[in-house]
A and B are shown apart, each in its own frame.
Chain A
Amino acid sequence: MIAIIGLLVGVAVGILWNPVVPLWLEPYLPIAIVAALDAVFGGFRALMEKRFDDRIFAVSFLSNVVIASVLVFLGDQLGVGAQMSTGVVVVLAMRIFANAAAIRRILFRA
């Protein structure tokens, strides 16, 4: 519930504020979002399994975003930015699917 409220607040703030994204930051936003989604799904799964921890959640969220962005940035600097983005997105998507599967098993027992 609180998570959904937070998400809605964030969306509202984003729409109302509508900040101008610096051009150099733009390529990293999608990656950052996927990384953040991974942390959110992981947190949700932990919540379902009754082992949620706010500290781990916050740290994993921030570190995921930072590491994913830095990896892609490094890839860009080394000329393999596209491949690095693909790799990062594949791994994160895999984790998201694994977590989603675990959540699904708990919620629907299927």
Chain B
Amino acid sequence: MTGGDVFQDLEREFGPASGFAVQPVRDEVPTIWVPRESVTPVLKFLKNSAPQPYRMLYDLTAIDERKRVHREGQPESDFTLVYHLLSLERNADVRIKTALQGEYPTAASITNVFPAANWYEREVWDMFGIKFDGHPNLRRILMPPTWEGHPLRKEHPARATEMGPFQMSAERVDREQEALRFHPEEWGMKPRGENSEYLFLNLGPNHPGVHGVIRFLLQLDGEEILDVVPEIGFHHRGAEKMAERQTWHTFIPYTDRVDYLGGSMNNLAYVLAVEKLAGVDVPDRAKVIRIMLSEFFRLASHLVWYGTLAQDLGALSPVFFTFNDRERIFDIVEAITGGRMHPSWFRIGGVAQDLPQGWDRLVEDFLRYMPARLREYDMLVLQNRIFKARTQGIGVFTREEAIEWGMTGPGLRSTGLGWDFRKQRPYGGYDQFEFDIPVGANGDCYDRATVRVEEMRQSLRIIEQCRKIMPAGPYKSAHPLATPPVKERTMHDIETLIAHFLSVSWGPVIPAGEAFAGIEATKGNNGYYLISDGGIHAYRARIRAPSFPHIQMVPLISRGLIIADLIAILGSVDFVLADVDR
């Protein structure tokens, strides 16, 4: 693996002696080590002046390298910062890494280059204890402010049993509650204006309009929103930490629950990344089965979004209709997988089982049923004049803003940019399907809605093609790392029996290396950046979830509107709290 064009661009700009180094990885993302002090200029160059620039900060995370054994060809490092940039023009990514030394190192904040880095740097500080100089407000983001330690550091325990007994004394209750009090000054807000005192309203963490446990602190003048501070982390479950103690195989069920409306589709991003690490090729039948299930889950997720958006805007009925339809999808999912919302059904190297007899009839019935329902919802919701009045021209962002803030998925497409990973980088077999990428024009709540609705029709198209072309053949790879191996073969050859025994009882040993796989998930781009140290666990698993940057963007598009608009914006952004907090 070479550094590709981007490495040449960098060498041309900064000279060959600037200490850049290319690291071999198992995916197609050029990975370049950059000295600590060059990070900001390099990122500035890549964002602003490089040919076909990398304008989106796709992800920013860190790796605790202190316990890592297989680091061949990498500079000395205790903690590594990873900047993952995306160029829409090149349709390519680049991974910039920088080495930090010491137990609690410090790095320069890049919020002046990429404003979207704000939350990511807070997350890295929260999880690793790495400080960022020049960050406007470096405070914990996922863990409570009273938390001791930084969970993703290797010395931090992963299980409650490794910690002392938990006691919630009265003083502790008081302390924790006091920590939740909102201090506007800490966020640079003034308590009063020229003529009036502002109202600070706690919207959430338990509020019917916010779809889960998230808190929005509103600075209000009357009902007008002057500023918003989203507070997240209430749904944080340490999925990334768990990946470090679950085996590669037993982590699959955790991924289902990251975007909990996306079900199996979450598995896809994860198993694709593991398969890149392990070098497993997936048989055609498994690919098409996976895509069919993923599209069913996209439909299911969009149906929830459709109904709840209408409900947020005061229409009571659509949510019942769409949930009924979702129930029909779950009936099919149940017939195929045995599970419903979280079937954990994809496996390293394929899927858990073959399709049941008669699956195609179920799918056919659904394909006949659904289009009429979608037309009905169009009349009930999208064409309703009150709905239009509530959503058109509300929560507008431009294409540049969307890219700047790391917005992907229907949000990005609502600005008129037909960027869809299924088309741009066909993964997992999407290249064999015919479908369109619906786009909007204005980037407002209404366009985000129409894009999603049209996407549902495209999903139906894909599912129909899946039914037609479903190839014959195995549903799981014969590769020894496919977990668990195909059961029928274990009774015939000793090698498969041993592989079966080991990878089920112990866990598959994935070769050391790094790989990233991103998919077009229900909410936007979901990706897993996995690092194997040659063991049965991930050394580090980074989940790039779309909802995290999307929520970071909410204040930007809410200022100057009123509470009712904020509810419309939240509904149209379509986030899932588990996807924000992981």
Q: Do A and B bind each other?
A: no
